[in-house]
Amino acid sequence: MLTTRQIELVKATVPVLREHGVALTTHFYKRMLSHNPELRNVFNQVHQARGHQQKALAGAVLAYAENIENPAVLLPAVKFIASKHATIGIRAEHYPIVGKHLLASIKEVLGDAASDELIDAWAAAYGQLADLLIKVEGDIYKEQANTEGGWSGWRPFIVEERVEETPDVVSFYLKPADGGMVPAYKPGQFVSVRAYLPEVKLVQPRQYSLSAAPLCNKGLRISVKRVDGKDGVPAGLMSNHLHKCLKEGDTIDVSAPTGEFYLAEGANPVILVAGGIGITPIFAMLQQIAEKTPERPVTFVQVACTGSELALVKEVRVEAAKLKNACMATFITKPDEADKQIKCSCVKIGVRPTTEDIKALAPSADADAYICGPTAFMNDMRAALAEAGVPNERIHTEAFGTGNLT
C-alpha cells in the first residue's frame, strides 16, 4: 500500500510524463534490451523499431500515475495487457527485471529531479502494479492449464491445411502435434504463434485472432494478412514469413487462446462490424451465432478496400444464410472495375459506412456491438454506434498491434 506522500510524489510526475513519457520509455527499452538481450525474443522488434511499444508504454505509465489513488479503474486495461502477456510468455520472474530498468531509467532521464524519495515512491507504485499483473496473469495461466484440452506456455501445432483466402490473406488450419484436443475457447479470442525470423536473427511471437468458432476440439484456425512495406513503413516480418515459409505439414509453436474481446452469450441483438482483416474475430462470432443460436438478431457490417480483399466472404454468406434474423451490409471503399458492376442493395460502392448508414441499420439499445479493424475505423464506428443509441458500455473493440500493450 502506498503512503499518502508516495501518492503525491507519483502524481507530481504526471506533467513530466505527459511531455517526456516517450523519451523515458524509449530509454527504458534500450536499456533493458541491452542488459537483457534474451528479452528480444519476447518483445516485438518491429513494434520496437517503429516506436509503437514505446508510445504504448508511455501511455500506460501516464494512465497509472493519473489514477494512482484508485488503480481499480484501470482493471480493464490490466486484463487486456495481462491477456497479451500470457500469449508471449511473460512470467512473474520478468517483473523484477522490468522494475530495475524502469526505475533506473526514471533516474537517468530525470537527472537531479529524480530524488531518492521520488524513486522510492515509484518503486512502491511499480511493485503495486506488478503484483496486480502477476496475479491476473497467474490466474490466466492456471485457467489455461486446467481447462480440458488446454495448456500453459507454448505447444507445437502442425499445419493441417493452408488456404489462400485473398491475394494477401492465408488461413492456416492447425492441429496439436501431440494428437490431443484444444480447449473450448471463446469466439473473438486470439493466440500467439512464434517462429525464428532470419531478418532479425530472433525467435519472435505475434498475436492472431482465431478466425473460426470453437465448434470442435480438434484444431485452431488463424487467417494472416501479409503486410507489405510501403510509404517508408517496413513490411511485416512475421506475416511475410508465414506466407512464404509455413507450409502444410510444418510445425509451429502456439500459445493457448485468451483475450477479453469475445462474444457474450445471450439472446439480445448483436452488431458485428469488421474492417479489413478485422474480420477474423468477427467471423468467429458470426459463425458461433449461426451454428448455436441462429434465432439471435444479428447486424453484420464488413468493410474492405476492394471486393477481392473481402476475406472469408464466402464463409460469411454460408453462415449468414443460417441466421433467422439478420441484416447484412458490405462496403467497398476503393472499388475496381469489377466491383463497380455489383448490383446489390446490401453492397455500397465507393464509400465507408457513415453515422447515417449505421443509424439506418436501426441498432437496438440493448444490443452488444463488436468492432475490429484499423484504429481510426474503430473510433469512427464507435462514435456512430453511440450516436445511434448504443450505450458505450455495450460497444466492444479489439486493438490489433500494440493497442495499449506494453
Assigned domain for 378 exists: yes
Do 299 and 233 reside in the same domain of the chain? Answer: no
> Same structural domain for residues 389 and 293?
yes
pTM of the shown model: 0.90
Instruction: Label residue 149 exposed, middle or buried (CB < 10 Å: 0-12, 13-18, 19+).
Output: middle
Per-residue pLDDT at 234:
78
Does residue 109 sit in the same domain as residue 159?
A: no
Query: Among 227-231, 281-285, 349-353, where is mean pLDDT lowest?
Result: 227-231
Least confident among 51-60, 152-161, 203-212, 238-247 = 51-60
Q: Is the pLDDT of residue 270 over 80?
A: yes
Q: What is the pLDDT of residue 72?
A: 85
**Residue 405's pLDDT is what?**
30
List, for residues 171-200, the tens digit of each pLDDT value. 999 999 999 999 999 999 999 999 999 999
Beta bridge partners of 347: 330
Do 117 and 17 fall into the same domain?
Answer: yes
Strand partners, 369: 271, 395
How many independent structural domains does the chain possess? 3
pLDDT at 406 over 60: no
Q: What is the pLDDT of residue 365?
A: 87
- Among 194, 220, 255, the domain boundary falls at 255
- Of the chain, the percentage scoring pLDDT greater than 90 comes to 82
pLDDT for 381 beyond 70: yes
Residue 392 lies in a domain: yes
Residue 64 annotated as catalytic: no
Q: Which of these three, 118, 146, 174, is where a domain ends?
A: 146
Same domain, 28 and 134: yes
* Within a domain: 114: yes
108 tagged catalytic: no
Catalytic residue among 64, 126, 137, 309: 137
Q: Residue 263's CB: how many other CB atoms inside 10 A?
A: 23
Give the pLDDT of residue 107: 96
pLDDT at 401 over 60: no
Residue 191 has what pLDDT? 97
Statement: residue 404 has pLDDT above 50: no
* Surface-to-core class of residue 85, CB atoms within 10 Å of its CB (0-12 exposed, 13-18 middle, 19+ buried): buried
pLDDT at 232 over 80: no
Q: Does residue 403 have a pLDDT over 50?
A: no
- Residue 289 C-alpha cell reads as 451465432
pLDDT at residue 283, rounded to an integer = 98
CATH number of the domain enclosing 384: 3.40.50.80
- Going by C-beta distance under 8 Å and a sequence separation of 6 or more, which residues neighbour residue 312? 165, 171, 211, 223, 279, 280, 283
Q: What is the mean pLDDT of residues 92-99?
A: 96
- 29-38, 53-62, 224-233: the lowest-pLDDT one: 224-233
Q: Are residues 274 and 249 in the same domain?
A: no
pLDDT of 141: 94
Give the active site residue among 29, 64, 95, 262. Answer: 95
Taking the C-alpha atoms of residue 220 and residue 182, their distance in angstroms, rounded to an integer, is 8
In degrees, to the nearest 5, what angle opens at C-alpha 73 toward C-alphas 401 and 153?
45
Average pLDDT, integer, range 146-167: 96
The whole-number average pLDDT for the span 253-280 is 96
Mean pLDDT of all residues in 88-110:
95
What's the whole-number mean pLDDT along residues 8-30?
95
340 touches 368 (CB < 8 A):
no
Domain boundaries, position 190? 154-255
Q: What is the pLDDT of residue 400?
A: 65
Residue 153 has pLDDT above 90, yes or no: yes
Residue % of the chain over a pLDDT of 70: 98
User: 363 falls in which pLDDT band (50, 70, 90)?
Assistant: confident
Domain membership of residue 405 (yes or no) is: no
Residue 341 has pLDDT above 90, yes or no: no
Are residues 206 and 336 located together in one domain of the fold? no
C-alpha 334/C-alpha 306 separation (Å) is 6
Residue 262 belongs to a domain: no
